[in-house]
Amino acid sequence: MVNYCPMHGSVFGGFFGGFFQLVILLLFFVVIWWMLKNSGKFGYKTNTGDSAKEILKKRLVNGEITKKKFELLKKEIED
């Protein structure tokens, strides 16, 4: 004879039911975290869509690199 647990519907319902509830709850929080991460919240950087050439131009304008270095890096990017 199998012992039936009326609270959970089966012999193993108590353990497996709780386990699956925990898995679902964990999945819920992972999805929420992923959505917030991709929305740019919490200091995560999202892809701005700048190409490598645009980044080089910004660095040149800001004085981070010289014109000679800009031309050298631009050739490397285009290859």
Q: What is the mean pLDDT of each run of 10 residues along the chain (79 residues)?
A: 55 65 92 79 59 88 92 87
State whether the Cα torsion 43-46-52-56 is positive or negative. negative
Q: CA-CA distance, 69 to 79, in Å (whole number)?
A: 16
- pTM over 0.85? The answer is no
| Two structure tokens written together for 29 | 């929080």
